[in-house]
Structure 1
Amino acid sequence: MGRGASSAHGAPGSIEREELDGGGLHERGGRHASDVLATRSHVIIGGHVHENPYYLDPVTFLRKLALRRAPVSLANAG
């Protein structure tokens, strides 16, 4: 499996360690790591599954992403 790839064999919503720890983070930056974390309802930390307090449901995440990409005048409109 390539760098940054999700594991199809892991727990639902899990990410391989390299997604956040590996070289991809340095190439993509913190916003990418934040987005990856926001789209997973559960995370594995220290071998234990935890509910992710930073999880955003898909509709909310896509709205946030659209606002981030919108021209400044639209993002400040309301």
Structure 2
Amino acid sequence: MDDRRASPRRRTLLEGHIEIAGGGAIDCTIRNLSDGGARLLVVSVIGVPDEFVLSFGAAAERRSARVVWRKETELGVAFVGA
């Protein structure tokens, strides 16, 4: 199987937060991360908007993200502007 990613992904186990426009956040776990996007684990994808800000890491990094694919408890996101 070909890996079509523009940048290599790194396996992670980072705590993250999906920041929802207008307030509120959904907790997530970042399972892998690359310069272009990430795979997120959530309790449920219901209520997760198509675009949001993902915050994570000790430095409270914030990246605008767009959902590329969804499964029951997983999201694949591309970072906007990456």
TM-score range, shorter chain: under 0.3
Greater Rg, structure 1 or structure 2?
1
More helix by share: 1
- Whose relative contact order is higher, 1 or 2, with alpha carbons under 8 Å and at least 6 apart? 2
More strand by share: 2
